[in-house]
Structure 1
């Protein structure tokens, strides 16, 4: 799975667990069920849930009766925590090395790297204001005034 897909899969899986009331082993959401909602392969879901479990956001139980459940209330899980849990960042790319001896080539990569850091910090700050519970709300205050991103497919 590409790095750029881990965060959306993780946010979706957490929101689904919250929606289904998966707050303990008895309500565990199996990876196949999560995968059918996303939709993706259950293996992709298991890779992401392993990262979420390592971060302490969920617990998992393997096997035929296994699945995942939330360890915290959805109102207390912010999207910046989710991004960090799946080792994500804004994914705006990385600057090329630049040509030695070129005044632009030697200077610009460092400045572009700083700009990428600024963008990543801004994304983290924005995501820190949005919770898993907000994703389930029809019109949460944290997302007021925003339209879906033009590059993202949106279900009708």
Structure 2
């Protein structure tokens, strides 16, 4: 799975667990069920849920009767925490190596790297104001000012 897909998959999985009231092992959701909701492969789900479990957002139980459940209420899980849990960043690329001897080429990669750090910081700041509960709400205040991103498919 690409780095750019870990965060959306993680956010979706957490929202699904909250929607299904999966707050303990008795209500654990199997990776195949989560995968069917996203839709993706259960292996992708297991990779993401392992990262979410390591971050303390969910617990998991392996095996045929296994699955995942939330350790915190959706109102307490901010999207910046989810992004960090899956080792994500506001991925805008990385600056290429500069050509030796070119004053612009030797300078620009460092400045582009700083600009990328600024963008990543801004993304974390924005995501810190949105929770998993907001993703489940019809018209959350935290998202009221935003339309879906033009590059994202939106279900009708």
> Please, what TM-score do these two structures have when normalized by structure 2?
0.99
Deviating runs (4+, > 2 A) in structure 1? none
Structure 2: runs of 5+ lacking an equivalent: none
Query: Alignment partner of 1:22: what SS?
Result: coil
Which residue in the other structure is 2:28 paired with? 28
Displacement of 1:145 in angstroms is 1.4
Measure, in 2, the Cα distance between the counterparts of 1:71 and 1:101. Answer: 54
- Deviation string, structure 1 residues 107-149 (Cα, Å, up to 9, x no partner): 0000000000000000000000000000000000000110000
Which residue in the other structure is 2:117 paired with? 117
Are residue 5 (structure 1) and residue 5 (structure 2) matched? yes
Which residue in the other structure is 1:92 paired with? 92
Measure, in 2, the Cα distance between the counterparts of 1:13 and 1:35. Answer: 8
Which residue in the other structure is 1:106 paired with? 106
Measure, in 1, the Cα distance between the counterparts of 2:3 and 2:94. Answer: 14
Measure, in 1, the Cα distance between the counterparts of 2:41 and 2:14. Answer: 16
Which residue in the other structure is 1:143 paired with? 143
- Deviation string, structure 1 residues 49-89 (Cα, Å, up to 9, x no partner): 00000000000001111100000000000000000000000
Displacement of 1:19 in angstroms is 0.2
Displacement of 1:154 in angstroms is 0.7
Structure 1: runs of 5+ lacking an equivalent: none
- Deviation string, structure 1 residues 37-57 (Cα, Å, up to 9, x no partner): 000000000000000000000
Query: Alignment partner of 2:47: what SS?
Result: helix
Query: Alignment partner of 2:60: what SS?
Result: strand
Which residue in the other structure is 1:72 paired with? 72
RMSD, aligned CA = 0.4
> Please, what TM-score do these two structures have when normalized by structure 1?
0.99
How many equivalent residue pairs? 156
Query: Alignment partner of 1:69: what SS?
Result: strand
